[in-house]
Chains A and B, each alone.
Chain A
Amino acid sequence: MKKIFTVLALAATLAATSCNDWLDINTNPNYISDADMSLLLPTVQLMTADKVGYDITLYGSFWAQYVTQCSTTNQYYTIMTYDVTNTSFNSPWSYFYSSVLPRIKEIIAKAEEAGNASNYILEAKSMLVYSLYMLTSLYDQVAYTEGYLTETRTPNFDSGQDMQKILIGLCEEIRTMDADAVAADEAMNLTTSSDMVFGGDTEAWFQFVNTLYLKILLRDFSANQSKISSLLAEDDFLAKDAAFDNFLDQADKSNPLYESDRRQLNTTNNIRCCSDVLNVLSASDPRLTYFYDNNPGGVVSGGPYGTSADPTETSRLALYATEPVYFGTVDEAGFLKAEAYARLGNAASAKTAYEAAVAAAFARVGASGAASFIAGDYAFTAGTAEAMVEQIINQKWASNVHGLPWESWFDLNRTGYPTRGTILTDSHGVLSEGYPQRFIYSKNSADYNPNSPTPVDVNVKMWWQK
């Protein structure tokens, strides 16, 4: 009898075990369970390029007043008139947080665990600073210390001022990395096949961070004056564009704004030239025809901002399937240097940097003849710090029609240049007063996180804005 029980018990155990084995199939065959850091870095860069190159470029282009909405279509009418709600800005928020930042965190953790991968740490941390810089520039308060780091379900947000400190801290942390060790790690652990921005050029990554650092410091010039001075003395800024330059002329593979506006939308007429740009650039500037298509009359012309433009009279914004998305440019670095020197009262260095920047801006879009414009229409005039800053920012603004249009919107809010009412059309859209200063906190955040900040209107200034 005992034997039978033993046998039965054994059989039951066996059946239960084999049954559980038979049921243990809930591993998704369509996906892999882990991915190496070399397979995560391209995701970080592509997703960043997608959001920067689509949503942020689109809002930047309108709110910097480079473009205006076509009168016969109305795709971006609400953007042009600042008629935005908290649903308007879900996408950058959710992509940066759910796609970009967690991957950066993973890369850093995996690189630290693997060892000899400081090059990955450099690249990932640089992308982290860039992402956080973009987020806080757009939304002000950002979940960082309690958000992406802890995976709490209801993170509290860090204030804009605190983010400034965090960003400065992160930049300085990167700058203290041993460049030789990083270069040695890169030699052992190539990122050429996963770094879609610099192809494993670690020196360029340090320069990217330095440029970003200068940009962040300039948000509060008086507080950071000494750091700015020593950074200028180092003079190790971007020598080549930080560009995501991997686009092809194919569906799902091309420049995001081109893909959306020209390939996917049912009309390609939406984005028209705003005439404001002609108040800064000479009509003969060769970059104009790169920036905009000719109108039906064969010239570049635009309409006033905030008013729907007639497509039979105005130019369309030119878009190119393979145009890179820039995270930083050589001309931006030059303009930043020029502004810093101008604010420090060093007119000569400001002029040198300004002229190099204008030349780089021409070169970036393949335009020639910069020298004659620098000597002529765009000549730098020494003056008060403020007057020099105005010249620099105006020219920087005009250079970024293609490039970093959102930076022009940031600069407009930070410096007030180009001046509304004179150079720029003064348009309040649907706002009772003011202009767009920020993105509204994402509905996805407001709906699901009780610690999401109190809603702030689009026209409320951030701490660094004038």
Chain B
Amino acid sequence: MKKFKLLLACLLMAVSTALFAQNRQISGTVTDQNGEPVAGAYVLVKDTNVGATTDFNGAFRLSGVPASSSTLVISFMGMKTVEVPVAAQVSVVLESESEYLQETVVTALGITKSQKAIGYAATTVRNEDITASRNNDAVSALAGKVAGMQVSNSSTTAGAAQSVIIRGVSSIGRSNQPLYVIDGIPLQSVTVYNTQSGYGNLGAGIGSINSDDIETMTVLKGAAATALYGSRASGGVIVINTKSGKGKNRTQVTVNAGVQFSSVSTLPEFQDKWGTGWNGELTLDENGSWGPILNGQIREYGPIVNNSQMIKSFIAIPNNIRNFYETGVQYNTSVALQGGNETTGYYVSYSNVTDDGILPYDKDTYKKNTLSFRGNHQAYKWLSLESSINLTTQATDQVGQGSQNTSIIEGLYQSGRDISFIDAKDLTNVFNTPAGWYTPYGITNPYWLIENAYNHTDMKKVFGKVQANITPIQQLTLSYRYGFDYTDFDRKLTEAQIALPSTNPNASSTNMEGTVVASYGRYYETNHDFLANWSDQYVGGRLDINATVGANINERYSTTEAAQVTGLTFDTGFWDLSNTSKQPTASESQSKRRGVAIFGDFQFGWDDQVYLDITARNDWTSTLPIKNNSYFYPGATLSWLLTNTFDLSSTPLSFGKLRLAYGKTGNDPNVYQTTATYAQGSSGGYFGAGTALSFPFGGYNAFMKSATLASDSLQPEMTTEFEVGADLRFFNDRIGIDAAYYDRVSDMQIFSLPVDPATGYNTMVMNFGKVSNKGVELLLTTTPVRTRDFKWTVDFNWSKNHNKVVSLPEGLDGGKASITRDGWGDIYMYAEVGKPIGQLYATLPVKTDEGQFICDPKTGLPKQSSDLQDTGYNVQNDWVGGISTGLTYKNVSVSATLDIRHGGKIYSRTKSLLWFTGNSIETTYNERRAFIVPNSVLEDGNGGYVENTVPIDLYSGTFQYYFDGNTSNPIEGSACTLIDRSYTKLRNLTISYTLPEKWLKPVGIKGATLSAVGNNLFVWTPSSNPYIDPDQGFTTDLTGMLGEYFCTVPCRYLGFNVKVIF
């Protein structure tokens, strides 16, 4: 810090020395058309560095104006820039201009285009809007702000990978995630998936970026916008433009520091009337609340250890789970230094995030450090150089939230409502360890799990670029850019051993062998880009031509290795592969892909009215069959600025643009799908995971051919999109409407299509099937109040996507392809012709023609279909929307974002579990008294039906089965585990106060803002979902949309932040 100050002092001295050499003084005022003063307008003496900003009264004062200068340039965002002759006293009137005309968008390959010339939907979010909420990753800040874009979490733990889907799911088998491009360089989105359930997937992609470094983020949605980025852009592109010292001649240090406290926001609603037990009986070692009514009696419970047993009152502890969690703390600090002169600019930043989550102690932590350097230098008039290098480290410690023994959430949710957890902290008490925990049914004390958890992941990322731009003549720029991204992870996932003697009642279900898994992955990507840009005006300046041709060479490589041991020698605390007497198992994997592309972008602008843009790209990729590895995709867009063609100044329309776009994007296959391979022989695991038997085996080694038939005729997936849109602003931009309609078809999906194994293969790789996405996106921006001191804006966005599987290959049963299923119940997710991707199938109750349930005469429970049936539900939302608002009164501003999703269903293991355990409020139906399933009949044995007279009751266990999501007995069949996906969430609320300049100036501070921030403050779900925040999946992308296996508890963040600029 001391060095910073020294540097600062030196730079300040240099600037002030320059100022002393001048002499002339100018003062004046700047007002708008209404005579209101314009505060913050910038007044610059043309062709010099001398300038000043106006104060609250619109007044400015310039000193040291060189005698040779004759012109002043006055500019202000949203107003037309004017030039006036130099005079001792000037007064300037600025006319407002549609802000829009000035906006620029950084589009394909780092080319900056004027918003007006763009013929497709592109939404830009600026630094202030990204960083105000102090999220640790930039993409979370976009949630609810961009029409047609859905941001979801794979877990609420800090550092978890995000899933972003733009304009619906297009690909059944490939990624639907967007490509992130930072300053022209594609960012590798490395996701560290979890081999064991219950840990969030960790992301080393967009989450590795320091949000404070970002100047703008632009979301490019359609194929016409993204085509130039090539294969990975078929899911959209998020273009990130970072801050640089360019164009600034003042040294500036920005410090941004905050603290946020996290706490549990929503928990499922629990019943508090019935306590531990099963079948209505008091069995105080049960993992559920199907026992008698809680009556306050003192009872012994749990096993007898050393001739003693625990006792407690049989009463409900309503907040037993909430009390288990603690308040988490997150610190977020960043320092940035930027500056430069006319030829050189630089930007250096450091940031740190430290998060200790809501689990007790510090086993759920996240630490991120970033260091960035960016520089630019105009070496000669014809040569400029740019470089950037960024370094990120992330370290995550997690505690398993997964299934059974190692799961905290199971330990909590499977316990009776009368079990207290905070009393179980003392692990020296045998009753708080697996040996004495009150239940033998495979769960144990969450505190013991935390104490014995060690799951650590380190991730590093280094990325950046070197770029040279040569301008031999004014119209022509030749660029070469070398971009690189190196990402790696090192991780250890462990499980302590529990080896209770077989005489211990907890032994059979609680014992675990213990494992240590050590793994690492290294990923790199390099890009060489060659660009030639020609930009000139013809026909007396009426025809604008801007043409770029270029080439890209890309290589991506990854290597991963994992080694595992089981059966630990030291039960816990020693997490090394040597901690076993058994043979370790190891595996490795490498992949490499290369691509070459040439592309062109030709833009013609006529008279500032009509813009035509034609793009084309041809790719050659290593992942296609070598003889047929080339594919081409063109695009064209048209943009017409109505308000520049017609004089509409007498109408409310202050700006109007119509857009038309057509484009294609290819999506090449994954690596190594074109040739047959032999792998070391092994058979699949017993529960859908791992392996059961594998070579080497007793001195034998063996191989087997892949059961996936490779294809030597693969083609790329091809997405074709047509888009129309309008951008209209009224009443001096007080109201704006940006609307888009798109029709996107993704054809020739690459899929490992399941086939009858009788063919000799389980799957065949092939191109098949068509998916259509049609949708509407609306963005309404309003400024209800805009006065000198008070500004209020409200923006609404809404989008509806209609997704449909158009065709799948013949021979696929019922025209549907399986995507995934849940791990416990019987919920399957399909892509089915004529329906949106993600149609949900379940076993459903059998009904008579009159719609009555047919019950089993022994149990009184509805019979279930033996086959899977269409539930009529789908995982996709009907529509999504958002409202964001900003209020500014003098120095105080308030902003808030509401994220709304409506419709669709999500699989919830939490619901399934809370029904199974009798902890859910819904399991108190009919006060748990026996009842006959309403509207039900029994078969009379002669093909007819008689009234059902068999009640279901607690004591025979049938009442429980009625609520058992595991065995599919309720009246909804296994579909009972599907719940409404709708929610409304207050994503963010920020109140900030900008300190007056008069206080700061004397102490040498340029600006300071204090803010109070709140994130994920409230979530409202329909009454049918008293269980979870549906904004999560067990993994990212399409398969993750099925639902949650064990949702991490959602957190609410509240905190404070200080931003100071020196």
Complex contact B764–A253 (CB within 8 A): no
Known A46-B693, A147-B759, A151-B759; judge A264-B686 contact (CB<8 A): yes
Complex contact A97–B622 (CB within 8 A): no
Complex contact B405–A266 (CB within 8 A): yes
Complex contact B698–A248 (CB within 8 A): yes
One digit per residue, 1 when the CB lies within 8 angstroms of any chain B CB and 0 when it does not, for chain A 126-164 equals 000000000000000011000110011111010000000
Contacts of A40 in B (CB 8 A): 702-704
Contacts of B761 in A (CB 8 A): 98, 102
Q: Is A238 an interface residue (CB 8 A)?
A: no
Interface pick from B36-44, B95-103, B413-421, B668-676: B668-676
Which residues in chain B, 362-394, are within 8 Å of chain A measured between CB atoms? none
Contacts of B698 in A (CB 8 A): 196, 246-248, 253
Give the complex CA separation of A105 and B681 in angstroms: 16
Interface pick from A21-29, A181-189, A203-211, A414-422: A21-29
Complex contact B681–A246 (CB within 8 A): no
User: In whole Å, how far is A103's beta carbon from the nearest beta carbon of chain B?
Assistant: 6
Complex contact B683–A99 (CB within 8 A): yes
> Residue among A154, A193, A448, A449 with the most chain B CB within 10 A?
A448
Known A43-B681, A252-B694, A449-B755; judge A98-B702 contact (CB<8 A): no
Contacts of B596 in A (CB 8 A): 19, 22-23
Q: Choose one: A248, A264, A268; the contact of B687 (CB below 8 Å).
A: A264
Q: Choose one: A43, A157, A264; the contact of B704 (CB below 8 Å).
A: A43
Give the complex CA separation of A154 and B677 in angstroms: 23
User: In whole Å, how far is B851's beta carbon from the nearest beta carbon of chain A?
Assistant: 23
Give the complex CA separation of A94 and B684 in angstroms: 11
Q: Is B866 an interface residue (CB 8 A)?
A: yes
Known A93-B757, A152-B759; judge A33-B681 contact (CB<8 A): no
Complex contact A47–B697 (CB within 8 A): no
Closest chain A residue to B761 by CB distance?
A98
One digit per residue, 1 when the CB lies within 8 angstroms of any chain B CB and 0 when it does not, for chain A 380-407 equals 0000000000000000000000000000
Q: Is B695 an interface residue (CB 8 A)?
A: yes
Q: Choose one: A29, A248, A446, A450; the contact of B811 (CB below 8 Å).
A: A450
Total contacts A-B at CB 8 Å: 230
Contacts of A225 in B (CB 8 A): none
Complex contact A23–B755 (CB within 8 A): no
One digit per residue, 1 when the CB lies within 8 angstroms of any chain A CB and 0 when it does not, for chain B 767-795 equals 00000000000000000000000000000
Give the complex CA separation of A138 and B410 in angstroms: 39
Contacts of A29 in B (CB 8 A): 590-592
Complex contact B567–A251 (CB within 8 A): yes
Complex contact A34–B757 (CB within 8 A): no
Contacts of A323 in B (CB 8 A): none
Contacts of A20 in B (CB 8 A): 620, 626, 629
Give the complex CA separation of A448 and B815 in angstroms: 9
Contacts of A265 in B (CB 8 A): 686
Please tell me the number of chain A residues within 8 Å of chain B, measured between CB atoms: 81
Which residues in chain A, 255-278, are within 8 Å of chain B measured between CB atoms? 256, 259-260, 263-269
Give the complex CA separation of A266 and B513 in angstroms: 11
Q: Is B27 an interface residue (CB 8 A)?
A: no
Which residues in chain A, 338-383, are within 8 Å of chain B measured between CB atoms? none
Complex contact A448–B755 (CB within 8 A): yes
Q: Is B1009 an interface residue (CB 8 A)?
A: no
Complex contact A444–B756 (CB within 8 A): yes
Known A40-B704, A97-B757, A147-B759; judge A448-B811 contact (CB<8 A): yes
Closest chain B residue to A42 by CB distance?
B702
One digit per residue, 1 when the CB lies within 8 angstroms of any chain B CB and 0 when it does not, for chain A 426-462 equals 0000000000000000101111111010000000000
Complex contact A24–B681 (CB within 8 A): no
Q: Choose one: A50, A91, A194, A250; the contact of B700 (CB below 8 Å).
A: A194
Contacts of B6 in A (CB 8 A): none
Contacts of A86 in B (CB 8 A): 867
Q: Is A41 an interface residue (CB 8 A)?
A: yes
Q: Is B4 an interface residue (CB 8 A)?
A: no
User: In whole Å, how far is A66's beta carbon from the nearest beta carbon of chain B?
Assistant: 20
Complex contact B759–A447 (CB within 8 A): no
Known A40-B704, A246-B698; judge A26-B672 contact (CB<8 A): yes
Contacts of B867 in A (CB 8 A): 85-86
Q: Is A106 an interface residue (CB 8 A)?
A: yes
Interface size for chain B: under 10, 10 to 19, 20 to 34, or 35 or more residues?
35 or more
Contacts of A50 in B (CB 8 A): 683, 692-693
Closest chain A residue to B705 by CB distance?
A102
Q: Is A4 an interface residue (CB 8 A)?
A: no
Q: Is B126 an interface residue (CB 8 A)?
A: no
Interface pick from B580-588, B600-608, B895-903, B1044-1052: B580-588
Q: Choose one: B693, B707, B758; the contact of A148 (CB below 8 Å).
A: B758
User: In whole Å, how far is A258's beta carbon from the nearest beta carbon of chain B?
Assistant: 11
Contacts of A98 in B (CB 8 A): 707, 757, 760-762
Contacts of A155 in B (CB 8 A): 756, 758-759
Known A97-B757, A251-B513; judge A30-B588 contact (CB<8 A): yes
Contacts of A43 in B (CB 8 A): 681, 695, 702-704
Give the complex CA separation of A142 and B760 in angstroms: 13
User: In whole Å, how far is A396's beta carbon from the nearest beta carbon of chain B?
Assistant: 28
Q: Choose one: B595, B686, B701, B758; the contact of A445 (CB below 8 Å).
A: B758
Give the complex CA separation of A265 and B693 in angstroms: 15
Complex contact A31–B686 (CB within 8 A): no
User: In whole Å, how far is B713's beta carbon from the nearest beta carbon of chain A?
Assistant: 14
Known A19-B596, A246-B698, A450-B811; judge A32-B677 contact (CB<8 A): yes
Complex contact A259–B672 (CB within 8 A): no
Complex contact A97–B760 (CB within 8 A): yes
> Residue among B567, B588, B705, B811 with the most chain A CB within 10 A?
B705
User: In whole Å, how far is A249's beta carbon from the nearest beta carbon of chain B?
Assistant: 9
Which residues in chain B, 803-817, are within 8 Å of chain A measured between CB atoms? 811-814
Contacts of A256 in B (CB 8 A): 692-693
Complex contact A33–B813 (CB within 8 A): no
Complex contact B705–A103 (CB within 8 A): yes
Complex contact B813–A41 (CB within 8 A): no
Complex contact A27–B703 (CB within 8 A): no
User: In whole Å, how far is B827's beta carbon from the nearest beta carbon of chain A?
Assistant: 13
Known A46-B693, A103-B704; judge A266-B762 contact (CB<8 A): no
Known A47-B681, A98-B761; judge A266-B692 contact (CB<8 A): no
Give the complex CA separation of A103 and B760 in angstroms: 9
Contacts of B758 in A (CB 8 A): 93, 97, 142-143, 147-148, 155, 157, 445, 449, 452
Complex contact B589–A30 (CB within 8 A): yes
One digit per residue, 1 when the CB lies within 8 angstroms of any chain B CB and 0 when it does not, for chain A 193-224 equals 11010000000000000000000000000000
Give the complex CA separation of A99 and B442 in angstroms: 35
Closest chain A residue to B707 by CB distance?
A98
Q: Choose one: A22, A91, A259, A449; the contact of B756 (CB below 8 Å).
A: A449
User: In whole Å, how far is A431's beta carbon from the nearest beta carbon of chain B?
Assistant: 12
Complex contact B594–A252 (CB within 8 A): no
Known A24-B622, A46-B683, A251-B567; judge A97-B759 contact (CB<8 A): yes
Q: Is A35 an interface residue (CB 8 A)?
A: yes
Q: Choose one: A24, A31, A252; the contact of B693 (CB below 8 Å).
A: A252
Complex contact A25–B695 (CB within 8 A): no
Closest chain A residue to B404 by CB distance?
A266
Using A29-B591, A30-B589 as known contacts, list a sample of 18 further A-B pairs with CB atoms less than 8 Å apart, ordered by residue number in A. Answer: A20-B629, A26-B624, A26-B675, A28-B675, A35-B703, A43-B703, A46-B683, A50-B683, A106-B705, A147-B760, A148-B760, A151-B759, A246-B698, A247-B698, A263-B513, A266-B442, A268-B508, A448-B813
A-side interface residues toward B, CB under 8 Å?
A: 19-20, 22-35, 39-43, 46-47, 49-51, 54, 85-86, 91, 93-99, 101-103, 105-106, 142-143, 147-148, 151-155, 157, 193-194, 196, 246-248, 250-253, 256, 259-260, 263-269, 442, 444-450, 452
7 A-B pairs in the complex with CB atoms less than 8 angstroms apart:
A47-B681, A54-B686, A97-B760, A98-B757, A266-B405, A267-B442, A267-B508
Q: 8 nearest interchain CB pairs?
A: A449-B756, A31-B677, A42-B702, A143-B758, A447-B813, A97-B757, A246-B698, A28-B672
